[in-house]
């Protein structure tokens, strides 16, 4: 009780403040997303995501080397194919954009851990995450294509597939396919808890994956639901997921915390494009301090329980973290 108990005693000295800090953020916690496309010497700025670009396969190794030099241990790849069709064939084409990018990166920087996003939305002509029939996504037929996609990524040299489609049973389908093809040691990072969020807008511009009609509420989670997150995560764990991801991060810190407390596995969180864009917009207007807000955002995600943070801030944060 006051005056005997004075919490400020541990705050006066900056050295002591660092010594008793409860949460530490490290560059090794960060994963940097990369957007890859076909073409020659392409480095196309993403207008709604300052500092981010869409790059062609022939120059992607340059970015990989920069990321590795900054100490960032991993990247996650998103592909923009040359052609799209109703079944998203470019996603599982052995000579597809992601497959070629993986080979380029692993050849240039073999130490960089390469994660690949596994979904069909960027490759389908309709922009939805699976096979369509009468305007509805067919869950079970989609699973075979997702498994083919994951296997093709790993054959190309990817270290870990990350299914983001939110189809029921996709982790089991991918795990079974990987094991059958001799990739039993390859881990899976599941987008286990992915909400139907308005924060994805800038990403969909970058990945050219906006649905041609409708939305994704039939498979992505309702932002109002909290208990359902534990159910989804538990199912993915049972099916063979090694890392559970929550997406988005900043508006779902409670969900990150819930998942971390419920399961004894690594938890990832995706600090998504809309969250990134808002910080940049506020800083450009002079309303907030970009670096301080960026680091506070990342620290809050780590404090909530995330072991890994997928973030477009990774390069800027790495420079500050040293």
Q: Which residues are catalytic?
A: 194, 247
DSSP bridge partners of 76: 33, 115
164 vs 155: CA distance, rounded Å: 19
Interatomic CA distance for residues 37 and 63, integer angstroms = 14
Q: Which two tokens stand for residue 69?
A: 């030099």
Specify whether the backbone of 136 is left (phi greater than 0), alpha (psi in -120 to 50) or beta: beta
Rounded to 5°, angle at Cα 176 from 172 and 179:
140
Identify the CA nearest to 167 among candidates 191, 189, 184. 191
For residues 81 and 123, the answer to whether their CB atoms sit within 8 Å is yes
The percent of the chain in helix, strand and coil, each rounded to the nearest 5, is 45, 20, 35
Q: What are phi and psi of 157, to 5 degrees?
A: 120, 5
């Amino acid at each position: 009780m006051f005056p005997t108990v004075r919490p400020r005693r541990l705050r006066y000295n900056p050295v002591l403040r660092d010594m008793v800090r409860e949460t530490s953020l490290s560059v090794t916690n960060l994963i940097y997303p990369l957007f890859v496309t076909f073409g020659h010497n392409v480095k196309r700025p993403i207008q709604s995501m300052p500092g981010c670009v869409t790059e062609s396969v022939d120059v992607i190794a340059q970015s990989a080397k920069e990321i590795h030099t900054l100490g960032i241990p991993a990247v996650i790849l998103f592909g923009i194919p040359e052609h799209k069709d109703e079944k998203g064939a470019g996603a599982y084409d052995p000579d597809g954009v992601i497959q070629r990018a993986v080979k380029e990166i692993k050849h240039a920087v073999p130490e960089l851990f390469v994660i690949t996003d596994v979904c069909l939305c960027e490759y389908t002509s309709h922009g939805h995450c699976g096979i369509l029939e009468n305007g509805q996504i067919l869950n079970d037929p989609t699973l075979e294509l997702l498994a083919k996609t994951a296997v093709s990524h790993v054959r190309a040299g990817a270290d870990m597939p990350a299914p983001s489609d939110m189809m029921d049973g996709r982790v089991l389908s991918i795990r079974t396919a990987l094991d059958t093809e001799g990739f039993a040691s390859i881990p899976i990072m599941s987008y286990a808890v992915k909400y139907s969020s308005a924060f994805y807008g800038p990403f969909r511009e970058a990945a050219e994956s906006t649905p041609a009609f409708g939305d994704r509420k039939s498979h992505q989670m309702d932002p109002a639901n909290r208990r359902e997150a534990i159910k989804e995560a538990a199912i993915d764990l049972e099916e063979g997921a090694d890392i559970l991801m929550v997406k988005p991060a900043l508006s779902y810190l409670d969900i990150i915390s819930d998942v971390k407390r419920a399961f004894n596995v690594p938890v990832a969180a995706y600090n998504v494009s809309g969250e990134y864009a808002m910080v940049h917009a506020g800083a450009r207007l002079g309303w907030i301090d970009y670096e301080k807000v960026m680091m506070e955002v990342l620290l809050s995600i780590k404090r909530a329980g995330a072991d890994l943070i997928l973030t477009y801030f990774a390069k800027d944060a790495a420079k500050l973290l040293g």
